[in-house]
Amino acid sequence: MKVTRRQFSYGFLGTGVTLGLAACSSNSTPGPIGTTTFSPKPVATTGRVRKFALEARPTQVDLGGRVVDTWAYGDSIPGTLLRATAGDRVQVAFKNSLPMPTSVHWHGLAIQNSMDGVPGVTTPETPAGGTFDFDFVIPDAGTHWFHPHHPLQLDRGLYAPFIVDDPHEPGAYDIEWILVLDDWTDGVGMSPDQILAGLQAKGGSSGMGGMNMGGMNMGGMGADGGDVTYPLYLINGRAPSDPQTLAAKPGQRVRMRIINSSADTIFTVALAGHDLQITHTDGYPVSPVSAASLRIGMGERYDAIVTLKDGVFPFVAEPLGKLGIARALVRTGGGAVPAASFTPSELTGDPLTVTSLTAGTGTALPAREPDTVQDLALGGTMSPYEWTINGTTYDNTAPLTIRAGQAGRLRITNATMMSHPIHLHGHTFQIGAAGGTGPRKDTVLVPPMGAVNVDLVADNPGKWMVHCHNAYHAEAGMMTRLDYTT
């Protein structure tokens, strides 16, 4: 996709926050709206309707004393949390106050196709100054999020958590802490548009500051530094010199909901002095497993339970193959705050990765041989700067196909020297094989020169994106679709 993007200048509009929540009762379900006529999969509803207002707009944010212009949902990064219960009908009145068209994709929500937020495929693009009324029923609980399906806009401040509560949640924790990780350049380094232009112009060997094409030249996970180095890494919109602090008491159990909203950065995370008990990934339960540190790719989410000790403890996210850290703090007692560059010893060992996880009880797909097996071969070249699936960029893609009711297997192979977080819309797949031990996920980090098989059930008709969640790879072509055929 050779897209030339306009550069914009904009000022601080200073308009009021419009995000809000109201609830009322209704038993009706939304009909399809948008460009497609696929019927949504049946969902058990609570009968509740939750209404939100959401605005994407230019604003300013304070990154540790440095005030920068960016685009965000409201006036903060991350944007204000949206929250509902599985089975709720959600209505979002969206307003686009950006100076260009945008879209909203509800990452992890397996909702009806017409509400999926992919311009030209599922949902009309919202023009500058325009509005769109989203209306959908949420089938599944979990830690999810939302962002534009305009990849370079994701590398600004347009992201926010969407937490879907489980009506049957056992709730064996005292406090919840949502941690949104991000790599940040907007207003500090180059703009996302300048970064892409540099990658395309120089084929990856650019002398422009901020470029790091090492990912194509290094072998193996752990040397996988993406295509871009960033001047800042953030947790909950805060720089490491000005971290957010969770105030709690010793002995309290914290449920951490960790979301990697980065454009180009895989993180390894740890909480100093504590092990993380991993309980969910991408919203689905896993058999709980304890780990000192955890690796999380772009678009992935992990939930972890921690029983807090007494003191001050940095939660640190270390970008894979890049310099710097992001961090937040837990304070349960007295003690000095470690230096902004402090990295906990928990980050020195091998982190937990998806290969160590098994599906939680009742989470596996029913055991079933696939009716259709399809290949997803990941590739790319530096010059020109193109990333491909099955040998082509998205503008020439031949979509994968499936029929409603079929069991499908995707055989994902990676012929490049860097990891790619592959995200499927509208479904969660099971890593390995249906009925096996692998976890349910919607985004899987495929290692360099590696391969991952995933199984899915075609239970949500539509045209669904399958793509790399590296924003620059997606923009440079690493996308295809899974289209239902009749």
Q: Closer to Cu ion at the Cβ: 54 or 263?
A: 263
Q: Closer to Cu ion at the Cβ: 14 or 220?
A: 220
Smallest gap, in angstroms, from Cβ of residue 230 to Cu ion?
Answer: 16
Scanning 194-202, 302-310, 323-331, 464-472 for contacts with Cu ion by CB under 5 A, the matching segment is: 464-472
Give the burial class of 28: count Cβ atoms within 10 A of its Cβ; 0-12 exposed, 13-18 middle, 19 or more buried: exposed
Q: Considering only residues 321 through 340, tell me which ones interact with Cu ion, judged by CB under 5 A.
A: none
Smallest gap, in angstroms, from Cβ of residue 467 to Cu ion?
Answer: 8
Smallest gap, in angstroms, from Cβ of residue 216 to Cu ion?
Answer: 11
Residue of 80, 126, 470, 480 that binds Cu ion (CB under 5 A):
470
Q: Closer to Cu ion at the Cβ: 257 or 420?
A: 420
Q: Closer to Cu ion at the Cβ: 84 or 468?
A: 468
Q: Closer to Cu ion at the Cβ: 295 or 420?
A: 420
> Phi then psi for 312, rounded to 5 degrees?
-120, 125
Q: Closer to Cu ion at the Cβ: 280 or 469?
A: 469
Q: Closer to Cu ion at the Cβ: 89 or 420?
A: 420
Q: Closer to Cu ion at the Cβ: 254 or 471?
A: 471
b/e per residue, 191-213, with b = 16+ CB within 10 A?
bbbebbbbbbebebebeeeebbb
Q: What is the DSSP string of 440-457?
A: EESEEEEPTT-EEEEEEE
Beta bridge partners of 146: 106, 160
Smallest gap, in angstroms, from Cβ of residue 189 to Cu ion?
Answer: 21
- Residue 435 Cα to chain centre, angstroms: 26
For residue 223, what are the CA distances in angstroms to 226, 264, 265, 267, 341?
9, 14, 12, 12, 21
Q: Closer to Cu ion at the Cβ: 74 or 477?
A: 477
The H or E element that residue 142 is part of is: strand 142-147
Scanning 40-48, 106-114, 123-131, 462-470 for contacts with Cu ion by CB under 5 A, the matching segment is: 462-470
Smallest gap, in angstroms, from Cβ of residue 420 to Cu ion?
Answer: 3
Scanning 71-79, 139-147, 289-297, 467-475 for contacts with Cu ion by CB under 5 A, the matching segment is: 467-475
Q: What is the DSSP string of 304-325?
A: EEEE--SSEEEEEEEETTSS--
- In this structure, what token pair is assigned to residue 341? 């560059």
Smallest gap, in angstroms, from Cβ of residue 339 to Cu ion?
Answer: 34
Give the burial class of 282: count Cβ atoms within 10 A of its Cβ; 0-12 exposed, 13-18 middle, 19 or more buried: buried
Residue 344: strand, helix, or coil:
coil
Strands of 142-147's sheet, edge to edge? 82-85, 160-165, 142-147, 105-107
List the one residue out of 102, 153, 146, 99 whose CA is nearest residue 123: 102
Residue of 468, 476, 479, 482 that binds Cu ion (CB under 5 A):
468
Q: Closer to Cu ion at the Cβ: 257 or 473?
A: 473
Q: Closer to Cu ion at the Cβ: 114 or 200?
A: 200
444 in contact with Cu ion (CB under 5 A): no
Distance CA 426, CA 445 (A): 18
Q: Closer to Cu ion at the Cβ: 132 or 387?
A: 387
- Provide the terminal-to-terminal Cα distance of the chain, rounded to the nearest Å: 29
Smallest gap, in angstroms, from Cβ of residue 40 to Cu ion?
Answer: 29
Scanning 32-40, 105-113, 203-211, 412-420 for contacts with Cu ion by CB under 5 A, the matching segment is: 412-420
> Which value, in Å, is the radius of gyration of the alpha carbons in the chain?
21
473 in contact with Cu ion (CB under 5 A): yes
Smallest gap, in angstroms, from Cβ of residue 269 to Cu ion?
Answer: 21
Ramachandran sector of residue 335 (left: φ over 0; alpha: ψ -120 to 50; beta: rest): left
Scanning 115-123, 304-312, 407-415, 419-427 for contacts with Cu ion by CB under 5 A, the matching segment is: 419-427
Angle at 382 between CA 381 and CA 385, to 5 degrees: 90
Distance CA 3, CA 62 (A): 31
423 in contact with Cu ion (CB under 5 A): no
Smallest gap, in angstroms, from Cβ of residue 93 to Cu ion?
Answer: 33
Smallest gap, in angstroms, from Cβ of residue 192 to Cu ion?
Answer: 16
43 in contact with Cu ion (CB under 5 A): no
420 in contact with Cu ion (CB under 5 A): yes
- In this structure, what token pair is assigned to residue 154? 């994701």
Residue type at 110 in one-letter notation: A
Q: Closer to Cu ion at the Cβ: 117 or 421?
A: 421
Smallest gap, in angstroms, from Cβ of residue 264 to Cu ion?
Answer: 9
**Total residues at the site for Cu ion (CB under 5 A)?**
4
Smallest gap, in angstroms, from Cβ of residue 124 to Cu ion?
Answer: 27
Smallest gap, in angstroms, from Cβ of residue 352 to Cu ion?
Answer: 22
b/e per residue, 339-352, with b = 16+ CB within 10 A?
eeeebbebbeeebb
Sites of contact with Cu ion (CB under 5 A): 420, 468, 470, 473
